[in-house]
Amino acid sequence: MSTQPKATIERRRHDPTLAERFKAGHPIPLHQGTFRSLGLGLITGASDDDPAAIGTYAAAGASLGPSFLWVALLALPMMFAVVYLSSKLGQVSGQGLFAVLRQHYSRWLLYFLLVTAVVGNIVEAGADLGGMAAALNVVVRVPISHMVVVLGIFVLSLQIRGYKLIRSLFRWLALALLAYIGSAVLAKPELLSVVKGTLIPTFHFNRNFFAMLVAVIGTSLSAYLYSWQSNQEVEEDISMGRRRLTDRIGTTSDELGHSRRDVAFGMFFASLVMYFIILSTAATLFRVGNTEINTAAEAAQALRPLAGKAAGLLFALGVFAVGFLAVPVMTIGAAFDVCQSFGWRHGLHAEPRDAKAFYAMLIIFTAAAVCLNFFGINPMKALVYAGIVQGVSTPFLMLLILLATNNRKIMGRWVNARAMNILGWLTLIAMSGATIGLLITLVM
């Protein structure tokens, strides 16, 4: 396996000053500014609260009530560990996750992880498209199958337009998630049960509880997060003129510090939204005994305290907006993974004629996600099942991330500190434990 020379990893690429970049017409690096915390981490955090996540969190709140709120607090450090380690790997190596795996690990392991990641991404993208169409159908009475096709075509066009448009648009789409915070507050949940459910973990040793736990952990730590964040770091570097790999390799303590704050902000935003979505359905549907969500219309009832008859419209806005954010993240991430695994040219900065395989993968994966909605599967059910699939497959990716970021051949002196390793391994143990608990309940 080829490796990066240690001297190359240890050094830091020469960067011109901001003034020199401005004169040369290059964009100013976001990570050198005060507001980087509103950048890549927010996009990743908001995409983590995709329609699959919204449906899963809403189903969990309706099924288990406020006693499940503590899971949002548990997920926050886990989400931070996953995304920050992926970000760090991309910054130091100058490559995406699967490019690193291809260089340093066996091909059978690479292909196994590739298949699970691509399948997981396509399933969740398909579930998201179905969730978007079902939510929109609450307001616009157009056949869901027609809307899925139109949405798929529109999402594909966004991907082909390139990285800069996606990065700019995604930050604004993330704000649609704030509707769920207002919904939960105006639902006037019982304070004592909320405090108890938030601070005191409650376990129910039955199939439903572990299915929901695995689904929530799976969708909040989805497979696409692992490769997406590392690829974002690479794309951000390319947008600043660092097109050669040798120009991207290496990092600094300041850059890693900015990334930690960036990722912490994005993951806090994602876990906050998760918390209030669970609280919304716990305070409305669970309280009246409606513990199972089967349609987008039922999930929309969680917003009635905020908007009354307009609840369906607001729910559609939230699901619709973040769907446009999340589906490209998943299909682009899958295309990145495939191209990196086989050494094909890829990237949103590349013209379609220069990266034909990459853009062909985008078309194929988007089409596959659309086609998944023509098998008669209830979209809200599919959202939960997609989360469970992710929960079973992602521990393997987390293990590889930990091994890679502790490998001096890859990271040089930027291997993980003890505290980061402890958090990473605890995250892996928690993910694996939830999956094992589900498997036990399934065979009992």
pLDDT at residue 379 tops 90: no
pLDDT digits 0-9 by tens, 157-216: 776 765 455 555 555 556 666 767 777 777 778 888 889 999 998 888 777 788 788 778
Which stretch of DSSP H or E encloses residue 421?
helix 418-443
Report CA-CA distances (Å) from 405 to 78, 87, 116, 345, 349.
Answer: 16, 10, 21, 24, 26
* Full-model pTM: 0.79
- Provide the token pair at 427: 């995250």
Q: How far apart are CA 342 and CA 102, in angstroms?
A: 8
Q: Is the pLDDT of residue 5 over 50?
A: no
Average pLDDT, the chain: 76
- Indicate the DSSP class of residue 284: I
Q: Residue 3 pLDDT more than 60?
A: no
Q: How confident is the model over 117-148, as pLDDT tens digits?
A: 888 788 888 888 887 887 777 667 777 778 88
pLDDT band at 378 (very low <50, low <70, confident <90, very high): low
Query: Does residue 16 sit in helix, strand or coil?
Result: coil
Q: Which residue has the tokens 């066996």?
A: 106
Statement: residue 225 has pLDDT above 70:
yes
pLDDT of residue 219: 75
Per-residue pLDDT of 241-273, as tens digits, reads 676 766 677 777 888 888 888 888 888 888 888
Residue 441: enclosing H or E segment and its boundaries?
helix 418-443
What does the pLDDT read at residue 12? 45
pLDDT at 202: 87
| Cα dihedral 333, 222, 293, 59 in deg (nearest 10) | -150
Judged against a pLDDT cut of 90, whether residue 69 lies above it is answered with yes
Q: Are 53 and 217 in contact (CB under 8 A)?
A: no
Q: Calculate Rg over the CA atoms of the chain.
A: 21
- In tens, the pLDDT along 272-288 reads 888 988 888 888 778 77
pLDDT of residue 363: 92
| 225 within 8 A of 398, measured Cβ to Cβ | no
Q: How far apart are CA 403 and CA 268, in angstroms?
A: 26
Among 1.10.10.60, 3.30.420.40, 3.30.300.30, 1.20.1740.10, name the CATH number for the domain at 35-443.
Answer: 1.20.1740.10
pLDDT at 53: 77
pLDDT confidence of 70, banded at 50, 70, 90? very high
Confidence class of residue 442 from pLDDT cuts 50, 70 and 90?
low
CA torsion 110→111→112→118, rounded to 10°?
110
Instruction: Give pLDDT tens digits for 310-366.
Output: 555 666 677 777 777 778 888 888 999 999 999 898 877 778 888 899 999 999 999
In this structure, what DSSP letter does residue 283 have? I
Q: How many other β-carbons are positioned within 10 Å of the β-carbon of residue 395?
A: 22
Which H or E element spans position 285? none
pLDDT of the residue at 8: 45
Per-residue pLDDT tens digits for 17-63? 333 343 344 443 434 443 444 455 566 666 666 777 777 888 888 88
Q: Label residue 375 exposed, middle or buried (CB < 10 Å: 0-12, 13-18, 19+).
A: exposed
